[in-house]
Amino acid sequence: MRCPACLLLWLLLAAGTAAAAEQKSPAGDLQAIATKFVDRLAAGDFATAVKSFDPTMTAALPPDKLAEVWKSLNAQAGPFLKQTGARAAKESKYQVIFVACAFEKAVLEAKIVFDESKRIAGLFFVPPPGASEYRPPAYDRPEAYGEARLRVGRGDWTLPGTLLIPAGPGPVPGIVLVPGSGPLDRDETVGPNRPFRDLASGLASRGVAVLRYDKRTLVHARRLAAKRDTLTLHEETVADAVEAVRLLRRSRGVDGGRVFVLGHSLGGVALPRIAALEPGIAGFVMLATPSRSLQDVYQEQMAYLFGLDGVVTDEERARLESIGREVERVDHPESASTSGADDLPLGLGRAYWDDLRRHDAREAAVLLEGPVLVMQGGRDYQVTREDFEGWRRLLAEKSNVTFELYPSLNHLFIEGEGRSTPDEYHVAGHVAVQVVADLAEWLKGRPAVTTPRT
């Protein structure tokens, strides 16, 4: 899982993945609405702020949830200082205003998406242009592989993706990268960091084909948000991962009997369900995957963040108590007096939580056929060593499981020192070379399996 703000923001609505076209002069009325909206966030006037939302946003992000997003953002970027400007752009049919916001620890842009009625239909906090320039890691050897852009999935839910194919004679093993929670792009971009881009180039440089893709919650966010009450992990993650496996198997130069699936964080939770729908996968990689329930991990993350400064305020304590009640409604739905999405963790509907309970990933992982590699960063505060040890216990009877713990790595598998905090996600780094090397060696050492026709 990613930081709590990202977990909360995944329901906020994107206008698609098309690049924003800069407009020469900002739309004055929209800019005024956008800057006033940010003023209200800064003032803590969330009840008034949500009056600018369209109906879908109003349902997805009521005042208390918006307050939680803002508080989580402040925990990462520091207190809000001031607005420093605004610019306008257009994405597909939507008008977008980017409001530059200076926080104590970071400069971000509030990306505010407007519909044709001048209502706010989407909200993201993103780095300003140029702030997240990516520099490839030293282990990336672009001469060692080719790159192809393609589409993953079928019909109205297709997603843009990238396939890296090693140069030279094939066929080669291949792996699908399944992202964690949040409206993630194919690189799993977090600030200046792109862990899936690192993994893809590192593995391709070592002879493994890699398919990664933008997540459905990014590309089709508006449609999914409208289905909040019925959304499950299948629609969010599983269905597209299955399509990606089938596509990779059909790709020229890839050995269809040596196609693996890697899931990061929530993506790892989805692995047993992907396997159930697509037999014959050669093996599975759990990257920072929780062995505890999502609601328990979320509750622990929020407590960790609120306690980082050594002081838990009355407001923070009240919010933690509220989160505890939300978790209780998930754990004991039969005794819950209210069970709408607004009363449950992360603004996710009852269908999502019931679906997770019906498909217990911990029990299903024990039944996975094929080899499993469990990789964990020792400094990860989001999915912790407790989860790693949980997998050790749960999978202790399986002979084809490998465990790798990297003491100095965080949730993105990037090196660091001391106690891990959200601040380090704003510092550019790369997935540790040892992770890439260990993963490539493990993948290339697994035998081929017989695959069904797809």
Residues 212 and 152 in one domain: yes
Q: Is 89 left (phi over 0), alpha (psi -120 to 50) or beta?
A: beta
Q: Are 397 and 368 in contact (CB under 8 A)?
A: no
Domains contained in the chain, number = 3
Whole-number mean pLDDT of the chain? 89
| 412 domain residue, yes or no | yes
Indicate the pLDDT class of residue 9, thresholds 50, 70 and 90: very low
Looking at 97, 126, 155, the residue that finishes a domain is 126
Half-sphere exposure of 222 (CA within 13 A, CB side): 16
What is the end-to-end Cα distance of the chain in Å, rounded?
31
Catalytic residue among 380, 387, 426, 430: 380
Higher pLDDT, 130 or 56: 56
Task: Quote helix, strand, coil % in the chain, to nearest 5.
Answer: 40, 20, 35
Check pLDDT > 60 for residue 13.
Answer: no
Indicate the pLDDT class of residue 1, thresholds 50, 70 and 90: very low
Q: What percent of the chain has pLDDT over 90?
A: 65
Check pLDDT > 80 for residue 396.
Answer: yes
Residues 326 and 180 in one domain: no
| 37 domain residue, yes or no | yes
Residues 14 and 47 in one domain: yes
Q: What is the pLDDT of residues 362-395, one digit of tens each?
A: 999 999 989 999 999 999 999 999 999 999 999 9
Looking at 126, 151, 185, the residue that finishes a domain is 126
Lowest mean pLDDT among 25-34, 53-62, 147-156, 161-170: 25-34
Question: What was the pLDDT predicted at 7?
Answer: 35
Residues 171 and 256 in one domain: yes
Check pLDDT > 80 for residue 245.
Answer: yes
Average pLDDT of span 124-129? 83
Q: What is the pLDDT of residues 95-107, one digit of tens each?
A: 999 999 999 878 8
Angle subtended at Cα 347 by Cα 345 and Cα 351, rounded to the nearest 5 degrees: 85
Residues 26 and 102 in one domain: yes
Question: What was the pLDDT predicted at 25?
Answer: 43
Indicate the pLDDT class of residue 19, thresholds 50, 70 and 90: very low
Residues 181 and 259 in one domain: yes
| 76 domain residue, yes or no | yes
Average pLDDT of span 347-353? 90
Q: Are 446 and 282 in contact (CB under 8 A)?
A: yes
| 432 domain residue, yes or no | yes
Query: d(Cα 357, Cα 294) in Å, to the nearest integer?
Result: 10
Lowest mean pLDDT among 22-36, 114-128, 185-199, 260-274: 22-36
| 450 domain residue, yes or no | no
Check pLDDT > 60 for residue 22.
Answer: no
Question: What was the pLDDT predicted at 59?
Answer: 82
Q: Look up 430 and say whether it is catalytic.
A: no
Check pLDDT > 90 for residue 132.
Answer: no
CATH code for the domain of 384: 3.40.50.1820
Check pLDDT > 70 for residue 173.
Answer: yes
Q: Look up 234 and say whether it is catalytic.
A: no
Q: What is the pLDDT of residues 67-86, one digit of tens each?
A: 888 988 887 788 899 999 99
Closest listed residue to residue 380, CA positions, set 424, 412, 425: 412
Indicate the pLDDT class of residue 27, thresholds 50, 70 and 90: low
Average pLDDT of span 163-189? 94
Strands of the 209-213 sheet, one edge to the other: 145-152, 159-166, 209-213, 172-178, 254-264, 283-287, 372-377, 401-406
| 137 domain residue, yes or no | no
Lowest mean pLDDT among 108-117, 124-133, 292-301: 124-133
| 449 domain residue, yes or no | no
Q: Which long-range contacts (CB under 8 A, 24 or more apart) does 334-341 make?
A: 341/59, 341/60, 341/228, 341/229
Question: What was the pLDDT predicted at 426?
Answer: 82
Catalytic residue among 220, 264, 411, 430: 411
Check pLDDT > 90 for residue 45.
Answer: yes
Indicate the pLDDT class of residue 4, thresholds 50, 70 and 90: very low
Question: What was the pLDDT predicted at 336?
Answer: 61
Check pLDDT > 90 for residue 442.
Answer: yes
Residues 189 and 75 in one domain: no
| 353 domain residue, yes or no | no
Looking at 126, 157, 172, the residue that finishes a domain is 126
Average pLDDT of span 208-214? 98
Check pLDDT > 50 for residue 14.
Answer: no
Q: Look up 156 and say whether it is catalytic.
A: no
Residues 86 and 204 in one domain: no
Lowest mean pLDDT among 16-25, 292-301, 366-375, 439-448: 16-25
Residues 271 and 365 in one domain: yes
Question: What was the pLDDT predicted at 451?
Answer: 65
Average pLDDT of span 206-227? 91
Check pLDDT > 50 for residue 24.
Answer: no
- The helix/strand/coil state of 438 is helix
CATH code for the domain of 92: 3.10.450.590
Check pLDDT > 50 for residue 236.
Answer: yes
Residue 235 per-residue DSSP state: I
Q: What is the pLDDT of residues 270-319, one digit of tens each?
A: 999 999 999 999 999 999 999 999 999 999 999 998 898 888 888 889 88
Query: d(Cα 301, Cα 305) in Å, to the nearest integer?
Result: 6
Catalytic residue among 52, 72, 205, 265: 265
Indicate the pLDDT class of residue 443, thresholds 50, 70 and 90: very high
Residues 301 and 154 in one domain: no
Residues 270 and 302 in one domain: no
Which residue range forms the structural domain that includes residue 211? 142-288+360-444
Q: What percent of the chain has pLDDT over 70?
A: 91
Residues 340 and 368 in one domain: no
